[in-house]
Amino acid sequence: KAGVTQTPRYLIKTRGQQVTLSCSPISGHRSVSWYQQTPGQGLQFLFEYFSETQRNKGNFPGRFSGRQFSNSRSEMNVSTLELGDSALYLCASSLAVPRDGYTFGSGTRLTVV
Amino acid sequence: AQTVTQSQPEMSVQEAETVTLSCTYDTSENNYYLFWYKQPPSRQMILVIRQEAYKQQNATENRFSVNFQKAAKSFSLKISDSQLGDTAMYFCAFRTQGGSEKLVFGKGTKLTVNP
């Protein structure tokens, strides 16, 4: 079966712009989570959606937002981009059963210049 | 708050040998789940092995096994018969049984398998 699909793979934006990243989970997975990965901070949790509702949010500013659609696809939006937002953004989907862990996509590499 | 610590930023091993990656965690929870993920240069995080805290038996997946010491809050990964394809970043991760549905990751260990 198809894995977690993230688009685009690479993105270059300038400071002050906004960006939207997309994630399509594995079919049947209703939980979608987003993580930011940087060399300095490692992997940090952004937020998690389940059945179109945000269930949990990490410690990120309000410029970071997301949503989930009825087909479980999710989007993440970052407004007023800053240089420090340059990172690999990973999406992961799950059956929402803790023991199953998450299945990750290949990520979107965002570079802010 | 839960924390995960991987004390070895980098490790190397010869092909066909065995290597152990260390992970410790801190939590006040009694029921939780532990995972090892592998991230090769392709960037995709791949689940290597998982352990449920209420199970005393250590998990095993082919060449990968864990040494889970709940009292010591230790969760190490052993890779036997190392292969060149095992070269990757390895992340230890923790997830509570309920409530906060997120993974808490360690900083990772960069493993290089040398021919």
Predicted pLDDT of residue B31: 84
Predicted pLDDT of residue A97: 67
Tens of pLDDT along chain A (113 residues) come to 679 999 999 999 999 999 999 999 999 898 999 999 999 899 999 999 998 999 889 999 999 999 999 999 999 999 999 999 999 999 999 886 666 778 999 999 999 99
Q: Token pair of B66, please?
A: 């864990």
- Residue B101 has its nearest CB partner, among A56, A90, A109, at A56
DSSP symbols for B11-59: EEEETT--EEE--EEE-S-SSEEEEEEEE-TT---EEEEEEETT--SPP
What is the rounded CA–CA span in Å between residue A34 and residue B65? 28
Q: Does B52 touch chain A (CB under 8 A)?
A: yes
| R_g of chain B, CA atoms, integer Å | 14
Closest chain B CA to residue A100: B50
